[in-house]
Each structure stands twice: as C-alpha cells, then as structure tokens.
Amino acid sequence: MPLKRRFDARWEIPLFIVSIVAMIALAVSLVRKALADRIDADGAVDCGKNLCHLSFVDFRDATWRPVSWFVMGNNPYDTQTYLQHFPNSLDYPTYAPGHLLLWAPLGWADWNTASVVAAVIGMTVIIATGCWLGLSVAENIPATLIPAGREGAIRRGMLATWGVILLLLSRPVSLAYYLGQPSIVYVLLAVPAIMVRNKYIGVILVALCCMKPHIGLAVVVVLIAQSRWRRALLGVGLSAALSLAAVLVMAGGVSGVPRWVDSLVGNISESSSRRTADWLDERIDIVGSLQHAGLGISTATTVAIAIAGVVAAYFLVRRTSYRFESISVLLGLTLVTVTLYHLSYDAAWLIAPIVLGSLEVASDPRLRKRLAPGLALLFFGAAISHYYIFDRLGNELGVANFSIWLMRVTLYAGAVLLIAGLWTVFRTRQHPHSSADNVDPRAHSTHAHPISAEASDTPGADIAAT
C-alpha cells in the first residue's frame, strides 16, 4: 500500500469517529435542554420577559394547541373563539391549513408526548438536512480528494456529520429548535426542495415548505426562475390539496367555506398587526428593521418593497442559474428574506447555499476574489442570531438587540457585495446560456463516474450518485 494511502487510512477512521461523537453530543445536549426547559401545557406566555426561556412555546401555540382544537372539529382561524378557549396562548398564526392536517396526529396526544415527538421530528430534519448538505459538498469536491464508490465512503460520511454539526452550531437553527418553531422543518427543507435531484422528493419538500406561505413563496420563485415549473406547480398543487381537505373539515363541508374564509381574513388581519408589533426586535427584513428603528413605514411601501424583492429575486436567479446553481439559490432566498417578513431564525436556510456556492467559485481565483466578501458576510449574518458573545458585547456597548442589528447589517451588506461581484463577472465574461432543465448538474461534476439521465429520477439516486 502506498505511503500516502496508509497515512490517509490512519486518520480517516479516528476523525470520522470523533465527528460522529461530536455530532451526537451536540444533538443530545440540545434535545435535553429543550425538553428540560419546556413550557407547561397551560403556562402563560409573557413575550417581553420570558419567551426566550420557555422552550417549545412556539410548538405549543403554533402547532399543538391549534391541531388539538382542529381534531375536535373546531376552526383555529376563528381567532376570537380560539383565544377564548386558550386565553393564555399566542393567537394562531397564518400557516396554510395543510399545516393542521400534517400535525393532526399530535392533536390527540398529551403535551409531554407531543413535545417529545416534536423534538424527535425537529432533530431528524436537522440531521437529514445536514447530511444532505455534507453529501452535496462531497459531490463538488474533486474525485482525487473524495473518490467515488466504497473508497471514498468514510470521507463522505465525515462530510455528512460535519454538515449536521454546522447546523447545530448555527444559532438560528438551535434557537428555532429550542422554541419548537415549525420553521425548523419548513425553512431547513427549503434548499433541498429546490436542489435535490429526485423529482418526487423535490415535489414533497416543496409542498411542505408551502405550509408556511412566505417560505413557500421563496421556494416557488426560485424554482420558476430556474424553469423548473413542474416541480413548483406539483408542489403547490399537493400543498393546496392538503389545505383544501383541512378547510372542508374546519368548514363542515362546502357550504361552510365562505364563513371559514371570513375567519381566515380576520385571522390574517389581526395576526399580522399583532406580530408586526410583537416581533420587531426579531425581524431581519428591511421594513421590520426600519420599524424597529422607529421609522414609520406605510403599508403601500411595505408591499412595494416585497414586490421589488420577489421580482429582483426572480430575474437574478434566472440570470445566474445556468452558471452558478447554488449562488442563484442563495441570491433568491436572500432577497426574499430581506424584503418580506422574516424572523432571525429564518436565515438558517441561507447556510446550505452559502457553503455550496463557495465550492462553486472556489476553482476560479477571480471569482473567489469577487464573491468571497459577500459570501463571508452572508454566512456570518446567517449564523449569529442571539449568539451570547454578541449579546454580551451589545450589553457592554449599551446597544439593545445588538446581535440582531449585526445580523441585519451583515445580511444586507453581504447581498449587495455578492450582487456587485456577480455584476462584474457577467460584464466581463460571455457564457452560453443553457436551461437548468436541460442540463444534468452532475454531468459537470468533478467526479468521473457517469450518471444516466434516468437515474436522476430514481428514488435515492441523488445519494447513490455520491
């Protein structure tokens, strides 16, 4: 055996074991802390003082209580009746009705059982997304470093565990998990929903993301800009079918739908106005940041900024997707994040395309120089929500919510620098356009093994291809 290969074999397995132990330790620590700090099933919520010290409060008030009300044949969107039954609860936010159907089995469970199941589901999503990220990274690394087949299996496994560790160390991910926020499912699955090659899995993930409308909107915008109409439409259709089934249950049949729609309109109006005020110190979008700074922003301006962000996301993704798949996804999600209503932990969905985008440009020194500053700032901004060291620094400086302000500034600056860097690239270079639908991204992989077009639609092919 060559000396180099013997050396590689000597460090691979111990490092892999250490990586697995670190991943398990981080995961178990987070699960134990979240379950130990659980809010009581009937505990009151004081957003101003106790929210960050009450784990699973979002799961209780955004999922468990609404679905327990739903499975009893009631309508959680009827805010007045709902809050009369749960007087110490946050109002039920405007998730798609299909959200109630997906989580309905937990409506029959007691609080302790439901919260444990939610903890398992949330951690499963973190692990699955982290592994997907690590395996996707492996596909973009030269075959000389990570060989195909059995020879590179340990290294791919190592990268998969590192992907999970990266997410667990990201404060927006751990914060969303701690609070039991449904976004831990819908946000983390957004990038795989766009980028996974298996079309069946992709449609299911798109449908899941649509359960939180502003997340689903971003996913659909990126997919349509990449000319992936079928995945976008099928995902939206599946989500709509689930939501329609839930609506018919809540409305008591077709005849009750108009009355249910009235309750939905009231829920949107009341929930929107309440959350605009209650969550200003967590919002990372431009409008929320300006309002948090004390500036009055009209509804018309808010709508105009949102529309401008969606339009800009569409055209930038369309312009870049044929050359930089991960960068285009990152651009789309970033622009939607900073122009629509988004909270700090929603930035977690930027981590995967930042990592993959960095690998896309790593082989070209000119691209690295132009895009690295923007990517670095975006990564920093996507990971620091309420990191204790920054909160302590803010306290020393006398700046309230310092980590959130730092997060906002770095996200905005990173987006501007990334777009500016891409602008210089496309001004100085001409590249033939090829549709995302007509090019198999693996055809240009640094790995030499051939992949057939049919295999890309085979369940599990995206993992087997590594």
Q: What is the pLDDT of residue 447?
A: 45
Q: 210-214, 360-364, 418-422, 437-441 — which is least confidently predicted?
A: 437-441
Mean per-residue pLDDT for 275-295?
Answer: 84
pLDDT of residue 422 exceeding 70? yes
Alpha carbons 403 and 252: distance in angstroms, whole number: 47
Percentage with pLDDT > 90 across the chain: 53
Mean pLDDT over 388-414 rounds to 87
Task: Pick 292 or 335 by higher pLDDT.
Answer: 335
The Cα 127–Cα 184 span in angstroms is 11
Which range among 22-31, 42-51, 149-158, 347-356 shows the weakest confidence by mean pLDDT? Answer: 42-51
Query: What local confidence, expressed as pLDDT, does residue 9 receive?
Result: 60
Token pair of 403 as six digits: 């980590």
Residue 40 has pLDDT above 60, yes or no: yes
Among 47-51, 323-327, 333-337, 453-457, the least confident range: 453-457
CA distances, 130 to each of 62, 161, 284 (Å):
25, 7, 24
* Local confidence band at 277 (pLDDT 50, 70, 90 cut-offs): low
Give CB contacts under 8 A, 24+ apart, made by 442-446: 442/139, 442/197, 445/139, 445/140, 446/140, 446/141, 446/142, 446/143
Report whether 67 contacts 106 (CB < 8 A).
yes
Distance CA 335, CA 412 (A): 9
Q: What is the mean pLDDT of residues 311-327?
A: 91
pLDDT at 229 over 90: yes
Torsional class of 78: left (φ above 0), alpha (ψ -120 to 50), beta (otherwise): beta
Q: CA-to-CA distance for 73 and 461, rounded, in angstroms?
A: 42
d(CA 247, CA 257) in angstroms, rounded, equals 7
pLDDT, residue 304, reads 95
Tokens standing for residue 192: 């795989």
Query: Would you mind telling me the total number of residues written for the chain in this entry?
Result: 466
**From CA 106, how far away is CA 109, in angstroms rounded?**
5
pLDDT of 150 above 80: no
Q: Is the dihedral of CA 399, 403, 409, 410 positive or negative?
A: positive
Contact assessment for residue 381 and residue 399, using Cβ atoms and an 8 Å cutoff? no
Write down the pLDDT at residue 463: 29
Q: For residue range 244-271, list pLDDT tens digits in order.
A: 999 999 988 898 899 989 888 887 777 7
Cβ-Cβ contacts under 8 Å for 172 (sequence gap 6 or more) = 344, 345, 346, 347, 348, 382, 383, 385
Task: Say if CB 223 and CB 231 are below 8 A apart.
Answer: yes
> Phi/psi of residue 408, each to 5°?
-60, -50
Mean pLDDT of 365-391: 89
Residue pair 237/64 in contact (Cβ under 8 Å)? The answer is no
Long-range CB contacts (within 8 A, 24+) of 138-145: 138/466, 139/442, 139/445, 139/447, 139/465, 139/466, 140/356, 140/359, 140/360, 140/445, 140/446, 141/359, 141/446, 142/446, 143/446, 143/447, 143/448
Mean predicted lDDT score pLDDT of the chain: 84
Over residues 347-372, the pLDDT tens digits come to 999 999 999 999 988 888 888 889 99
Give the model confidence (pLDDT) of 88-121 as tens digits. 777 777 789 999 999 999 999 999 999 999 999 9
- Count of alpha carbons within 13 Å of 239, Cβ hemisphere only? 26
Query: How many contiguous H segments (helices) and E segments (strands) does the chain have?
Result: 22, 0
How much is the pLDDT for 455? 33
Give the pLDDT confidence of 164-205 residue by residue, as tens digits: 999 999 999 999 999 998 888 999 999 999 999 999 999 999
